[in-house]
Each structure stands twice: as structure tokens, then as C-alpha cells.
Chain A
Amino acid sequence: MSSFLTSSFMSNIFGGLAQGVIYSLVALSLVIIWQSTHVLNFAQGAMAMFATYVGMTQIDRGLNYWWCVIISVLVGMAFGGITERVLIRPLYGKPEINPIVVMVGFLGVIEAATTAIWTSTSRNIAAPFSQIYFKADGKLVLLSPFIIFQIILAVVIMMLVAALFRFTRLGLQLRASALAPEVARLLGVRVSRMLTIGWMLSAGVGSIAAVILASGSFGLFPTNMDGVFVAGFIAAAVGGLDSPVGAIAGGLIIGLTEQFVLAYWSPSVAPLGGMIVLVAVLMVRPHGLFTRSVSRRV
């Protein structure tokens, strides 16, 4: 058993899953926004990175790690809500290029401003879990307490989001406003408030992903979410932008693919692995794996 755990195959599985849950969270946050407002938020990664900077640098002031995590998520949620109100609200009903361009511009502003405030030097955020790998029979298993924490936290967040949408009144209102805004409004749901809440929720989930990424060996720097955002988008597109389950599955698929490309070919071509999966999936199912096939309205 232990030789199985220390095999290179299993270590790739562990590495792929650890990376995959981060992609799943980013993909999930993209799907939440897409479902409610039909905007692909290109600044999602940068917004989460900024919130993480605000929250996690409080460690320098002697604050406890967990309080910093909570501050990061709250700042992220507030940031998401304000962004929807100020930048996205004027663009509903405009051509689909308009919100894309605005969010690409916002991405540029956030990254430049973050570099201006905190410099581009990478920081280490010390998580209260060891990053040292476990050993079995004197050989390394590519799992550390931190990686286990990372996977568990991600799964808990996913389950919380699922429970919110499935079992609460707020979740029902959110789903109703996404599915049929007119009907929901007639039935007394405050749809515009739901859109803002959707953005806040999404930004909160994104912030968790950024916090996990920054606490690991990757570190925190102004462009640290760029690659993760691209992978998260690929994951969401593979799963189908309308499907939260698809987003999570897509994240794991992309994480594992990148890990195996990295291990058996070269680290620098790992992003290419995700792209090849995306192309293959979209050739067969242009709307992703997990969406019911939709015919486009004419």
C-alpha cells in the first residue's frame, strides 16, 4: 500500500487534485457570475488577488491567520458588490463586448495599482499548517498537512455554496432571478439586489481560491492569479459556463491534466495541456460537458 502511495502516479494525482481544487473554486466563482448576469468576469482573479493583499498583509500587524482569511473574504465580497453596482450595472443590455472590455480594463487597473501599493515582490503567507510532505517507509508521499487543508477547505466551500443555492430562501431567489428575471420580479424578488449578491458571493469564493494559492508555496504577488484565472476559465468552459457541477469537475480535470503534462513533458508547456483538453471538448460539445444541449434562439 505504501509503495502505491509513494509511486509517481499517485504523487501526480495528489498534485493534480491540490491544483485542481483551486481551479474548481475559480471556475465556480465564474459560473456564479455567468449564471446571474451573463458576464464573463476577466478581472475575477485580479479582484481576488487584491482582496487577499488587503486581508493577508494584516498578518504584518500581528493579526491571527484566520482573522486575515475572514477579512480577505469580506473585502473580496464588498469589492465584488461595488464592482457590479458601479461598473457592470450601466452595461446591462449593451453588446456583449462592452462588459468584457470594461473588465479587461479593470484587470489592468487592479494589477497596476496593487504593484504600486505593495510592489511586485513575492510574499510568503505562513499558513498554520506544515508544508513538509508526509513520509511512508522512508519515501515521500506528495501530500502535506497544508495540501490536505487546502483540499478540505475547498470542498467545504463548494458544499456551502451548493447548500446555499439548494436549500435556502436566498438561493431560491438567486436561481429564480437568473432563470427568469421577469417572473421573479413579478413574484416579489428584488432581482437587482440578487445580481449584486451573486457578484458578492462569486467574489467571496474567488477570494478563498486566492488565499489558498497565496498561502502555499506559490506565494502572493500582483500577477499570481493570471495563470489560475486562465486555467479556471478553461475549467468553467470545459464543464459548461452554466453548470456549477461542471465547473468543479472541469477544475479537477484541468488540474490533473496540467500535472501529468508537467510531470511527463515539461513544466513550461503545462498550460498547453489544459488548452488541448478545452479544444477537444469544445469540438465535441461547444457548450461544455455538463450543460444540457441548448439550441440557439434565432
Chain B
Amino acid sequence: MHWLRGLRHQETTLTRLISVAALTALALAVTFILPPVANSQLAGGAAITIVILGLSWLIGWSGQISLGNSGFMAVGAYAAGIWAHHHDTTPLIFTFALATVIGGLSGLVVAIPSTRLRGPYLAGMTLAFSAAVTPLAQNFSSVTGGEGGIFFNTLTTPAWFQHFFSGADATINANAQWTADLAVVTAGLMFFIMANLFHSRTGRAMRLVRDNDVAAELMGVHLSRTRTIAFVIAASFAGLGGALYSLINATVRPETFPLTLSITLLTLMVLGGIGTLSGAVLGGIVYSFSSNLVSHINSLTGVNPASNLGANMQGIIFGVLLILTMLFAPRGIAGLGIKLVKLRNSRAVLASDENVN
């Protein structure tokens, strides 16, 4: 195993590419085993992973607290939805690129006044943004479809993929898995981009701005530009994630992006681990299977899922998890993992010291 640890220490773009490709391939293999329902859930989780990657970058690495990423998601989703509704022959990659760019632009609009603000001011400002986006979408109902939203269907499964499936529900199964595979590959690609961003010049500058902005400025880092870049990148990730999420559901509606979505995103990010790449993936996995988890808890505690309490169990559990994580394990699951690895390594060092003696 020693050569593996050595590989980790000199992490380069190539080693990152190999590990991300391996992880993506593993996830793709899993989609062949999972039932269609689980595949649809996995697709949603992959879209949310992309959003959390951006959020983790913004909050964890640049130190700017945003509650507006559900708003950026809505912007990206509407951009993709409106385009796909009118031009349903456009290649999917173009629709995604459009959502990413428009999402990033909305980030720029919010960042220009917001990067002058600190901490709670910024959090409240971005919260106000995400609260204003959906009413605005409802207001221009001739374009956005108002309350009912827009329906579109662009995720068509190619014929060669259909050949893997047979039986009565072949088309449905093929569609579910194709959607999941597409989402997983997109998430893998965005994970790779973010992994490189974390270790890029901008990423390092970002961390310095977070930890000591005076030192950063002395070293020639342009503060407000760096903070704006952080926002634009996070917003474009959220825009893409939101577009993917809506394309999976084949509809964009205001009620998909309530204020509580920002809370859900924050919970998943904190639960996975603020400012870590693996934390974003863990958050996405938790999101995928949260409904299974909640129904399991409901059956364990004997709560009727159709009752009032059962219907609100998810909100209660997510909120309690967020509070408990922040109070007792503020670095999340990934943080606990890192702690365990460090503990083991220090034990190993101690043991080897004893051997020398």
C-alpha cells in the first residue's frame, strides 16, 4: 500500500483524473445493479452533488456564507428549461453550457453588491436573493409558465443504450439508467474541475483571503475580484446542477426551489464536511437516499408516513442533523474520516518509533 500513499502525496492533475475516472466508472457500474427507482434517486443526488461542490467552494474555501444557491439553481434551471422548451433539438451539452453560463452571470450580479459584505450581512443578502427569484419567475408567467412551470423532454435515451434492456419495462428501465449515467458522468466531470480549482492559484488565493485578507492583499491578491470569482464559480455550478435536476424531472416549476432548499443544501454540505470534495459527494449520496432513510426511521419509530408527523419527518430530521453536526462534529463526515486517518497514521508513526528503539 506504500506506493499508493506516495501517489497521494504528489497529487497532480493526472492522478486526480485517474481517481475521478475510477470513481465515476464505479458509480456507473453501480447503476447497472440498482433498480430503476434508485437510479432516478441517484440522478437527483448527482445533480445536488454539483451544487454542493460549488457551495462548499464558496463557504468552505472563500469563507463567504451564502444562502442564495437555491436561487442560482433556479436561474440555471429556468435558463435550460426555457431554451429546451423552444428548441428541443438542441444538443444537451449546449443546454447545459447555457445553464452554467447564465447561472454564473446571476452569480456576478449578486456578487457585485455582496462581496463588500461580511458574514451575517452576506448570508441575509443572499437569502433575500433566493427569496426574490421564484416570485420573479412567477411574475413573468408568459415565459416561465408561472405556477405550473414548463414541461420539456430532452433526455432521450439513444438506441444503442436501449439494446442493453429487454422485457416489459425495457424503455422505462433504460431511461432511468441513462438519466442516472448521464448525471453521474456530469457530476464526475464537475468534481474533476473543482478538484483542480481547489489546488489552483485561484484556490490558494481564495483560502488566503478567507484566513487573512490583509496578508492576501499585501501579497498582491485582489480581494474583491477573488471574492467575486468565488461567487461566479459557485453560481455556475449551482446553475448547472439546477438545470440537470430539472432536466431529470422534465419540468421547471417555482415550487422546486423553495427557501427550504437552501437549508437542505446547507445541511448536506455541513453533514458531508465543509470545504471538502468528498463531503460534497457524501452529501449527494445522503440526498439520493434520504427519502428511504426517512421512511426507514418512520417504520422504526412506528410513525404513520401518511400522518402529519410522518410527512414532516424529513424536515425535522434534516434540521436536527444540521444542529447536531455543527455542535458536535463541525467538520462533518469527511472531517471525522480525516481525523481517523490521522489518528491511525500517528499510531503507525509511534509504532515504528518503538521498533527503532
Which residues on A are within 8 Å of B, measured CB to CB? 34, 39-40, 42, 87, 90-91, 94, 96-98, 100-102, 104-113, 115-117, 119, 226-227, 230, 233-234, 237, 241, 266, 268-272, 274-275, 278-279, 282-283, 286, 298
Would A278 and B327 count as touching, CB distance under 8 A? Answer: no
Q: A295 to B49, alpha carbons, bound, how many Å?
A: 39
Q: Which interface residue of A112, A113, A119, A230 has the most chain B CB atoms within 10 A? A: A112
Q: Kindly list chain A residues whose C-beta atoms are within 8 Å of the C-beta of B267.
A: 105, 108
Does B308 contact A90, Cβ atoms closer than 8 Å?
Answer: no
**New A-B contacts (6) at CB < 8 Å, excluding given A107-B263, A109-B316:** A108-B315, A115-B311, A268-B136, A268-B138, A271-B135, A298-B214
Asked if B323 and A282 make an inter-chain contact with CB atoms under 8 angstroms apart, the answer reads no
Do residues A268 and B135 form an inter-chain contact, with CB atoms below 8 A?
yes
Q: Assess the A111–B315 pair: CB atoms within 8 A.
A: yes
On chain A, the residues within 8 Å of B311 by CB distance are 115-116
Q: Provide the bound-state CA to CA distance between A207 and B125, in Å.
A: 23
What residues on A are CB-neighbors of B123 within 8 Å? Answer: 40, 42, 100
> Is A282 a contact partner of B117 (Cβ separation < 8 A)?
yes
How many A-B pairs fall under 8 Å by CB? 142
CB of B309 closer than 8 Å to a CB of A? yes
Q: Are A105 and B319 in contact (CB under 8 A)?
A: yes
Is A271 in contact with B266, judged by CB distance below 8 angstroms? Answer: no
A98 touches B319 (CB 8 A): no
Determine the chain B residues whose CB is within 8 A of the CB of A113 once the complex forms: 312, 316
User: Is the pair B139, A87 in contact by a Cβ cutoff of 8 Å?
Assistant: no
B180 part of interface (Cβ distance < 8 Å):
no
25 contacts between A and B (CB under 8 A): A40-B120, A40-B123, A90-B327, A97-B59, A97-B65, A97-B274, A100-B120, A101-B266, A101-B270, A101-B322, A104-B67, A105-B321, A105-B326, A106-B323, A108-B322, A115-B308, A115-B311, A115-B315, A116-B309, A268-B139, A269-B139, A272-B136, A275-B129, A278-B128, A282-B121
Contacts of A91 in B (CB 8 A): 326-327
Cross-chain contact of A269 among B125, B135, B260, B270 (Cβ < 8 A): B135
B121 touching A266, Cβ below 8 Å: no
Contacts of B125 in A (CB 8 A): 237, 278, 282
Q: CB-CB < 8 A to A115: which residues of B?
A: 308, 311-312, 315
The residue in chain A whose Cβ has the minimal distance to the Cβ of B109 is: A279
Type the 1/0 row for B34-65, where 1 means its CB is closer than 8 Å to any CB of A: 00000000000000000000000001000001
Report Cα–Cα, A38/B279, bound state, in Å.
29
**CB-based contact B138/A112 at 8 Å:** no
Docked-complex contact B128 and A112, CB < 8 angstroms: no
Q: Does B21 contact A (CB under 8 A)?
A: no
